[in-house]
Amino acid sequence: MLIIEVELLSGRYVATAYNNRSRAEWPPHPARFFAALVSALHDNEPVDAIEREALLWLEQQPPPSLDVDLEVTEEVGRRRVLDVFVPVNDISLVGDVERPLREARGKVVRLSATSQTPEANEELKKANETVRKEERKLAVLLEQQQVIDEAPSKMALATAMALLPDRRTRQVRTFPVVFPTHSQFAFIWSEKIPDMLRTALDHLCARVTRLGHSSSLVRCVIVERSVTPTLVPDSDGGVVLRTVGPGQLARLEKEFNRHQGVESRVLSARPQRYGHPRIEGDEPVSVQGVFSSEWILLERVGGARLLSSRGADISRSLRKALIEKHGAKTLPASLSGHRDDGSPADQPHVAFISLPFVGHEHADASVQGCAIVLPRGLANSERESLLRMVAAWEGDRAVAPDGTMELASGTLPPVRFRRVELASKVSIRPGTWCRPARRFITATPIALDRNPGNLRSNQQGTGHKASIEAQRSIAIACERIGLPQPISVEISPVPLLAGAQPALSFSPWPGIPGRANRVLVHADICFAEPVHGPVLLGAGRYFGLGLCMPTPEEGPR
């Protein structure tokens, strides 16, 4: 076992969340710590071969567990984030004199990775000559700057005055900070590192002085004592951290050759879900259906503000955009939802759902975001295929540097979304919909698989019989997604959850010419044992209809 302890010397951790500039990152991500080790590796040039080998060994290991303070919440341990206006860099006035050299070096890196044809070699030779030329130009410029100008021009004086901090224009910056109760945390790998590599890794740890912002000073050391993790890798966990995998060191080095610590960049990483460790011998406390808690989240950041009654339209547009990007005929049934002949798949597949703001006294049913819900047991190759589809779609639809995408169709007004790993809004956090419970109430109505009859009729018990049939249809729908039969089902045409919309507010489902529309009803469902969400029921479940929210058993029925 390998345990690396990190101590926050100032008692605070300063690192901005990669998907939200106004929030601090917590817990610290393993990928960020690995990047700090790589930085320490290159503090000494040329790099030590054994230290490099130690990092290559580390990137091959499974994601580490963490022993970290989990008491940090929105109210406790986080400093209130305020906008701070700081002077812009000098290059806004005198120009970025190093940019041509960085671009020339970046071209050399790109050409070095291409095939070694005579044409490519000739182009690489020219690129190296350009690098040497830019180096000479920069050296001359820096030498000239050391010479005192006895008679500066008015423009030179104006530029010099503008360089003073109190004269520069200012841009808004945020500095989110976490103050954990315990200033130490640890990364824990289960494999034992070879002694020679352990010594080299210990030397690297000794040279790591900060983690995150330069003001976040740390001490890192390999320890031998026993440590009990508080977060462990768990495919159903509610915390997503960035981790590393094979090739991470090479990717970081290649990226540095491009950005040189100046240009914008994104930390290469692999997302990994984490959860609380389970006590050995404990039995699962809840039953889970065919849908997993592994979601790809898209948070609404602008555009039209739509209600949940338009959620199915958003889901259909999202699915269409992704499928068109790849082509349905080349996708497995678990992703496309169809067999090769075009008929519906009889196996669980990916669901596209819109997530409304419901279940709160101030809820208004507005769509806060979307989720691509993966089925349980999805093969790794199919998961990677889906992630590639999403990445390609992001690249095509991005309308802003932060990855914001626009989704629209003939009947759907433009809505802007951004993919996130950790959602800032409670309504789009998987934990809101996936936590275990015995009672679930519909946030969006269920499209019944069978027509129960006239639910509104008062003639000769017709309405009562239709209600019984609707309850039976919902019970069967629960079993269809792998859940036990509920002990009670109550239906209603009006919402049973605060903020939800009436069934009549939703468009007929499926709304396709030539196909019969389904009856839409809200429901209050109770199980004899805890059930692990998400619970998606009925004919429209793959497009967000029949989305149920886990609810405490107390309260009016």
The predicted-structure confidence for 415-447, as pLDDT tens digits, reads as follows 999 888 767 788 988 889 988 899 999 999 999
| Residues ≥6 apart with Cβ < 8 Å to 355 | 367, 368, 369, 370, 371, 427, 428, 433, 547
E-strand ranges in 41-174 read: 65-67, 84-87, 170-173
* 222 and 317 inside one domain: no
Give the C-alpha separation, 361 to 357, whole Å.
10
Question: Which residue has tokens 């390999």?
Answer: 222
Number of domains in the chain: 4
Does the bond joining 100 to the residue before it have cis omega, within 30 degrees of 0?
no
Q: Which of 282, 340, 185, 250 is nearest to 52 (CA)?
A: 250
Give the C-alpha separation, 175 to 78, whole Å.
11
Phi/psi of residue 252, nearest 5 degrees: -65, -40
3-state DSSP assignment of residue 184: strand
3-state DSSP assignment of residue 240: strand
Q: Which strand (E) or helix (H) includes residue 59?
A: helix 49-59
Mean of pLDDT values over 352-375: 93
106 assigned to some structural domain? yes
3-state DSSP assignment of residue 236: coil
pLDDT at 332: 78
Give the C-alpha separation, 228 to 67, whole Å.
6
The predicted-structure confidence for 493-512, as pLDDT tens digits, reads as follows 999 999 999 999 999 999 88
* 371 and 423 inside one domain: yes
496 assigned to some structural domain? yes
Q: Of the candidates 376, 405, 428, which is a domain's last residue?
A: 428
286 assigned to some structural domain? no
> Does the structure show a pLDDT above 50 at 75?
no
160 assigned to some structural domain? no
Residue type, 326: H
What are the C-alpha distances in Å from 504 to residues 219, 510, 519, 545?
61, 14, 10, 13
3-state DSSP assignment of residue 134: helix
The predicted-structure confidence for 217-275, as pLDDT tens digits, reads as follows 999 999 998 889 999 998 767 788 899 989 999 888 887 776 666 555 667 788 888 88
3-state DSSP assignment of residue 536: strand
38 assigned to some structural domain? yes
More confident of the two residues 465 and 323: 465
237 assigned to some structural domain? yes
* 419 and 446 inside one domain: no
Question: Which residue has tokens 């790993």?
Answer: 421
| Local confidence band at 79 (pLDDT 50, 70, 90 cut-offs) | low
Q: Which strand (E) or helix (H) includes residue 356?
A: strand 351-356
Question: Which residue has tokens 């208004």?
Answer: 364
* 413 and 435 inside one domain: no
pLDDT at 74: 46
* 546 and 447 inside one domain: yes
* 139 and 218 inside one domain: no
Give the C-alpha separation, 222 to 102, whole Å.
37
Residue type, 531: V
* 421 and 436 inside one domain: no
Q: What are the structure tokens assigned to 309, written together?
A: 């009654």
* 324 and 307 inside one domain: yes
Question: Which residue has tokens 């990916």?
Answer: 350
Give the C-alpha separation, 42 to 35, whole Å.
11
* 508 and 412 inside one domain: no
288 assigned to some structural domain? no
Q: Of the candidates 224, 249, 275, which is a domain's last residue?
A: 275
* 335 and 400 inside one domain: yes
Q: Of the candidates 428, 448, 480, which is a domain's last residue?
A: 428
450 assigned to some structural domain? yes
Mean of pLDDT values over 306-334: 83
Q: What is the CATH number of the domain that holds 60?
A: 3.30.70
Residue type, 57: W
Contact status, residue 309 vs residue 545, Cβ threshold 8 Å: no
* 420 and 523 inside one domain: no
* 315 and 345 inside one domain: yes
How many Å is the Cα radius of gyration of the chain?
Answer: 28
Give the C-alpha separation, 363 to 306, whole Å.
13
Give the C-alpha separation, 372 to 290, whole Å.
14
More confident of the two residues 19 and 556: 19
Parent domain of 479: 431-551
